[in-house]
Amino acid sequence: MVVLVARPRRLEVRGASMLPALQDGDRVVAWWAWRLRAGDVVAALDPRDSNRLLVKRLVSSTAEGLWLEGDNAAASTDSRQFGPVRREHVVGRVAYRYSPPGRAGTVARGPRR
């Protein structure tokens, strides 16, 4: 029997690509999720630099991979520039912001586009 244990990852949001849902400096937790749905906010390896994580919204799933976009298109580098992201590059679904204290709480799913 194989038991998989996925530890949550703490991340700090950098930049304005996810405004207004997430702001620069927000600290969030990402958990591994077997099932991802359009509208979820996810953390994924940047396909251009695997040492960097991106926090983006899942727009759709295609045969080629997952289509990720920032909520603030004018400030986001995302699948519109680099194409779909492979599912195995997603490290977790972002579901909770723990800092700053005044903004702590659940990170809401967005609408399907």
Residue 108's pLDDT band, with cuts at 50, 70 and 90, is confident
Q: Is the pTM of this model over 0.95?
A: no
Q: Number of H helices and number of E strands within the chain?
A: 1, 7
In CATH, what is the architecture of 9-106? Ribbon (2.10)
Rounded CA separation 28/30 (Å): 7
Q: For 67-103, what is each residue's pLDDT tens digit?
A: 999 999 999 999 999 999 999 999 999 999 999 999 9
pLDDT tens digits for 31-50?
998 899 999 999 999 999 99
Check pLDDT > 90 for residue 4: no
Tell me what pLDDT residue 76 has: 96
